[in-house]
Amino acid sequence: MGDWEGVRLHVVTGKGGTGKTTVASSLAIALAAGGRKVLLVEVEGRQGLAQLFDVAPLEYSEHRIVPAAGGGEVFGLAIDAREAMYEYLAMFYRLGRAGRALDRVGFVDFATTIAPGLRDVLLTGKTYEAVRRRDDQGEYVYDAVVLDAPPTGRVTRFLDVNTSVSSLARMGPIHRQASAITTLVHSPRTAVHVVTVLEEMPVQETVDVVGELHEAQIPVGAVVVNQTRSSYLSDEERAVASAGRLDRPALAESLRAVGMPDTDALVERLCADAASHADRVEMENEARSGLDELDRPVYELPHVPGTIDPTALYELAEMLKEQGAS
Amino acid sequence: MSASRRRPHLDVDHLIDDPLTHVIVCCGSGGVGKTTTAAALALRAAERGRKVVVLTIDPARRLAQSMGLAELDNVPRAVSGVGLAAGGGLDAMMLDMKRTFDEVVEAHATPERARQILANPFYQALSSSFAGTQEYMAMEKLGQLRRRDQWDLIVVDTPPSRSALDFLDAPERLGSFLDGRLIRLLGGPARTGGKAYRKFFQAGFNVVTGALTKVLGGDLLRDVQTFVNALDTMFGGFRERAEQTYALLQRPETSFLVVAVPEQDALREASYFVDRLSEEGMPLAGLVLNRLHVEDTTDGISEGQAIAGAERLEALEGHELAASLLRLHAERLAAAAHDLRTADRFTVAHPDVPVAPVQALPTDVHDLDGLREIGRLLAKRHGV
């Protein structure tokens, strides 16, 4: 049994540059394993999913993007605030003429780019609808929805739409919509996973956002430590390397033993690499200890050399699954 | 090892020493080290004799930490520990967007009107949570600092927006909204034009407000209307101010630095930004390529040789350490080759954009010494 039984909405956030789109995609593949249907949603208009999966730009409609193990399927959706607004007007208000009039005076622009919080209600509202959608037999259409959410700095406000919107729209349909989303987001059916790398600032932002989410009573899922690198040296060897005291003659001898050039230049280069590696590992260990206090499940994903392709996503998905993410 | 493409070098010292450079804007996607780059440039310029202020926007207060300042609020404060021997100096500030917005309102409205606006729920939400407010206020603050004429160089860090282009577009968007048709309409039909026009307008107005009330609820609409009416005296002001700052960005005294890391996403954003700046006639100084893995390969061994050597050593007894070091070296050679390839792709697309490569440091930067080191790397003439 996985760590996220009963969770229907997986929100993935992280500081910019930590790889949250990669992690969200791998998580979707992991969750779809065993014949499940998962919807992967992006809301920032970047077409990050299309680039990652190497498929045509996603539209404002749900398309199957990749299969998963055991007959599972991952669908993709890029939510566009403007399209969501039209859909919203048509669905809830049957606004024909007035809807077009609203667009002419710039209301759609206003609602989708300026009005504080409305954009977020539209984006989360569509996600909410997908989470709750049922088919003719009354079964959920998607077993899980994975949302590639805004970065850590904005995610709490993004999810906690009720606070920003209900103080403004104190009644009416927008208020009702915001309240319904808020109920889902604050329930155990939601988990917000935070992606980080082992550097001071991303870890600090992770700690901060976990605190904010707790404060807002939004359930925090796992911390995903991305782009970890293997350590080639023992603690002791790193200490010696960092102090610049590696045994150079012994190294030269080793190189000679396998017929490699044993020049001082190469030996020095290897020692310099080792020293900077040791410093890096020490910094990573410090960063890692900052995550311990959060008391959340931690998944680690290795650094993938080069550009991430769909094959790499399956490998990362497998690693997530092995660590309990299903 | 493939030969690296020749790319024009970005001479950072020439840029920051040039007395005609008064504004440097650091832009790029999130997580590429914009704030650190801005702080490092500002510190280097100050220690080379310029009177510098660095404006940072990031709410994570990263710069505050790296500048050793306990408090960065909306006021520039002197950074201590900066070398003053060359006659320069460094002030730092962090943007408080709400306070900046309040100041704009206070500067343009009577005290009573200002009070009404500041108390309005719609204004409060707009000034503290609209994603574009930060960009607009960053521009506004930049304009204010420039007008004070107290510094001869202003270094600006841009907001951590969804994409680098938001910085250019959001102020215009907010400005048009505040001065635009919708808000006039919301303010009530009495404001507009002659009688015939008013009559025509009244009909449209009823349709629109009816729909708005339906969608937003009456309260929000009322708040917006009160806000708009209170804002009456400021119509035109917002857009005009945004336009002024936009014009400042186009002047030759301004230089844009696009910041990226050698990863596909970041460089794609950097490319968009470079193209956009050239379309807008904005002065691009070049690309800062942070966190570049650099390995000196002269007289060295190749990645393949390192791996083969490691394999042979692993088959023997007593050479484990050397084998590990060769594996490590191979990994670093691979990283350096990857970064070089990625950087080359950018250069192929933008052969004329000067680049300043900044070597990756093994550890984080969080003090002035670290910033000095970054500054030194920024200015270094690299072979890559």
Of B182, B299, B335, the CB nearest to A110: B182
Asked if the model's pLDDT at residue B217 lies above 50, the reply is yes
Q: How far apart are CA B235 and CA A58, in angstroms?
A: 40
Tokens of A151: 């970065």
Looking at residue A315, its amino acid is E
Residues A25 and A174 in one domain: yes
Q: Which residue's structure tokens are 């390839």?
A: B341
Of B32, B216, B329, the CB nearest to A174: B216
A187-204 pLDDT tens trace: 999 999 999 999 888 898
A124-181 pLDDT tens trace: 888 999 999 999 999 999 999 999 999 898 899 889 876 666 666 666 667 777 888 8
The answer to whether the CB atoms of B214 and A46 lie below 8 A apart is no
- Which CATH number is A32's domain given? 3.40.50.300
Read off the pLDDT band of B379 (50, 70, 90). Answer: very high
The answer to whether the CB atoms of A276 and B362 lie below 8 A apart is yes
SS3 sequence of B241-259? HHHHHHHHHHCCCEEEEEE
Residues A187 and A258 in one domain: no
Asked if the model's pLDDT at residue B164 lies above 60, the reply is no
* pLDDT, average across residues A260-279: 92
Residues A188 and A50 in one domain: yes
Read off the pLDDT band of B245 (50, 70, 90). Answer: confident
**Lowest mean pLDDT across A9-18, A55-64, A110-119, B135-144:** A110-119
The ranges assigned to domains in chain B are 12-182+243-297+342-379, 303-333
CATH 3.40.50.300 fits B12-182+243-297+342-379, yes or no: yes
Read off the pLDDT band of A250 (50, 70, 90). Answer: very high
Domain assignment present for residue A295? The answer is no
Of A16, A93, A257, the CB nearest to B319: A257
- Strands B284-292, B355-359: pairing is parallel
Touching B: A residues 81-120, CB under 8 Å = 89, 93, 95, 97-99, 101-102, 105-107, 109-111, 113-117, 119
Residues A66 and A213 in one domain: yes
Residue predicted with more confidence, B65 or A311: A311
B15-48 pLDDT tens trace: 999 999 999 999 988 788 888 899 999 999 999 9
Read off the pLDDT band of B59 (50, 70, 90). Answer: very low
**C-beta of residue B35 within 8 angstroms of C-beta of residue B157:** yes
Domain range holding A58? Answer: 9-229+303-322
Read off the pLDDT band of B193 (50, 70, 90). Answer: very low
Domain assignment present for residue A1? The answer is no
With residue A76 as reference, give the H or E element that holds it: strand A72-78
Domain assignment present for residue A291? The answer is no
Alpha helices in B109-236 (DSSP H): 111-119, 121-129, 131-148, 166-179, 181-187, 195-216, 218-230
Of A51, A99, A169, the CB nearest to B216: A169
Asked if the model's pLDDT at residue A29 lies above 60, the reply is yes
List the A190-196 sheet strands across, edge first: A63-68, A72-78, A37-42, A144-148, A9-14, A190-196, A220-228, A298-302
Please give the pLDDT value at position B192.
46
B174 SS3 class = helix
The answer to whether the CB atoms of B309 and A45 lie below 8 A apart is no
Residues A203 and A243 in one domain: no
Read off the pLDDT band of B258 (50, 70, 90). Answer: very high
**Lowest mean pLDDT across A232-246, B82-96, B226-240, B312-326:** B226-240
Residues A191 and A247 in one domain: no
The whole-chain average pLDDT of chain A stands at 88
Please give the pLDDT value at position A83.
84
Cα–chain center distance at A249: 47
Residues 6+ apart with CB under 8 A from A246: A240, A271, A274, B321, B325
Residues of B in contact with A257 (CB under 8 A): 313, 316, 319
Please give the pLDDT value at position B316.
92
Please give the pLDDT value at position B363.
76
The CA distance from B47 to the nearest CA of chain A, in Å, is: 26
DSSP letter at B31 equals T
* pLDDT, average across residues B152-157: 94
| Global pTM value | 0.85
Residues A271 and A200 in one domain: no
Please give the pLDDT value at position B191.
45
Distance separating the N- and C-terminal Cα atoms of chain A = 8
Q: How far apart are CA A77 and CA A63, in angstroms?
A: 7
Please give the pLDDT value at position B190.
45
Q: How many domains does chain A have?
A: 2
**Lowest mean pLDDT across A10-19, A108-117, A150-159, A306-315:** A108-117
* pLDDT, average across residues B199-218: 63
Read off the pLDDT band of B382 (50, 70, 90). Answer: low
Asked if the model's pLDDT at residue B157 lies above 50, the reply is yes
| Paired strand residues for A14 | A195
Residues A118 and A246 in one domain: no
Q: How far apart are CA B52 and CA B30, in angstroms?
A: 24
Residues A162 and A242 in one domain: no
Domain assignment present for residue A282? The answer is no
Residues A149 and A202 in one domain: yes
Q: How far apart are CA B290 and CA B361, in angstroms?
A: 10
* pLDDT, average across residues A284-291: 91
B114-127 pLDDT tens trace: 898 898 887 887 77
Please give the pLDDT value at position B2.
42
Q: How far apart are CA B252 and CA B89, in angstroms?
A: 23
Asked if the model's pLDDT at residue B189 lies above 50, the reply is no
Domain assignment present for residue A46? The answer is yes
Q: How far apart are CA B74 and CA B93, in angstroms?
A: 6
Read off the pLDDT band of B69 (50, 70, 90). Answer: low
User: Given phi > 0 = left and psi -120 to 50 = alpha, else beta, which region is A291?
Assistant: alpha
Please give the pLDDT value at position B212.
66
Residue predicted with more confidence, B128 or A32: A32
User: Given phi > 0 = left and psi -120 to 50 = alpha, else beta, which region is A184?
Assistant: alpha
The answer to whether the Cα torsion of B197, B200, B203, B206 is positive or negative is negative
Alpha helices in B28-129 (DSSP H): 34-47, 62-66, 97-108, 111-119, 121-129
**Lowest mean pLDDT across A137-146, B179-188, B370-379:** B179-188
B5 SS3 class = coil
Of B130, B182, B363, the CB nearest to A105: B182
Residues A255 and A317 in one domain: no
A79-129 pLDDT tens trace: 988 888 888 777 666 666 566 666 766 777 777 766 656 778 888 888 999
* pLDDT, average across residues A1-22: 91
Give the rounded percent of residues in chain B with a pLDDT score beyond 70: 76
Please give the pLDDT value at position B179.
66
The answer to whether the CB atoms of A98 and B162 lie below 8 A apart is no
The answer to whether the CB atoms of B121 and A154 lie below 8 A apart is no
- DSSP-derived secondary structure for B250-316: HSTTEEEEEEE-SSHHHHHHHHHHHHHHHHTT--EEEEEEEEE-----TT---HHHHHHHHHHHHTS
Q: How far apart are CA A62 and CA A5, in angstroms?
A: 24
Q: How far apart are CA A176 and CA A161, in angstroms?
A: 11
Note whether A208 contacts B: Cβ–Cβ < 8 A.
Answer: yes
Q: How far apart are CA B361 and CA B365, in angstroms?
A: 8
Note whether A244 contacts B: Cβ–Cβ < 8 A.
Answer: no
